Chains A and B, each alone.
Chain A
């Protein structure tokens, strides 16, 4: 049973465009929603995270939008750059249970120059 469903599997965007990656979950006990970024040959690294008490969190060009009623959250990358080309993973866990963080299947983003 997949706890966090991520889409699309791959995404191609032109430089300067907006990249949008979506995730959905079923477990209403999930309380923490991070996004990880992984470059080829490297381990994932935390990009940005959100808790359900806010609907949006922005850090530079990266924004998480959170819709608690729909049980969905998404990553928006504004003014996408070729250096943003990477695989992005959404994740989720229950309050106090982040040792069992569950990840989505990942989205491979390619930003063309």
Chain B
């Protein structure tokens, strides 16, 4: 089944304790991205990657890191989490974004609910 898999589904941590949220897609997509969803703020892009070893900042990159060593994986790293990073995080992938394709479509994972105490 074609899917974007995020782990963990839920995570509670404390301020300053480094954590990684994993994201993997099995569709051989070149493009991957991370979003955070907050009530009343919608979806905001954190980082994106057009291909392996190519990453770029989105609208809210502060406090986050990403890496793209393999095509299928795009982990999100919080080196020193703070309470304002409590949010619902989504990973997404696509095989067409950035190419001007009429059928551009993002495939989203099921989300990771992060709470930083």
Interface residues of A, Cβ cutoff 8 Å to B: 6, 9, 32, 34, 36, 41-46, 49, 51, 89, 95-106
Classify chain B: how many residues form its interface, as a range: 20 to 34
Residues of chain B contacted by A51 (CB below 8 angstroms)? 102
**Interchain CB contact under 8 A, B97 and A101:** yes
Residues 41-54 of chain B, each 1 if its beta carbon lies under 8 Å from chain A, else 0: 11111001010000
**Interchain CB contact under 8 A, A104 and B42:** yes
Contact A41 to B110, CB < 8 A, known contacts A6-B42, A103-B42: yes
Contact A99 to B42, CB < 8 A, known contacts A42-B110, A43-B108, A46-B105: no
Contact A44 to B108, CB < 8 A, known contacts A99-B31, A99-B50, A101-B45: yes
Interface residues of B, Cβ cutoff 8 Å to A: 4, 31, 33, 35, 40-45, 48, 50, 56, 58-59, 90, 92, 97-98, 100, 102, 104-106, 108-111
Q: Which of A6, A95, A96, A100 contacts B45 (CB 8 A)?
A: A100
Of all A-B residue pairs in the complex, the 8 with the closest CB atoms, nearest first, are: A43-B108, A105-B42, A99-B98, A103-B43, A98-B97, A46-B105, A103-B42, A106-B42
Residues of chain B contacted by A105 (CB below 8 angstroms)? 40-42
Residues of chain B contacted by A9 (CB below 8 angstroms)? 40
CA distance A105 to B43 in the complex (A): 7
- Shortest Cβ distance from B113 into chain A, in angstroms? 10
CA distance A101 to B43 in the complex (A): 10
**Interchain CB contact under 8 A, B42 and A89:** yes
Q: List 10 A-B contacts (CB under 8 A).
A: A32-B104, A43-B4, A43-B92, A43-B108, A44-B43, A44-B108, A45-B108, A95-B100, A96-B98, A98-B97
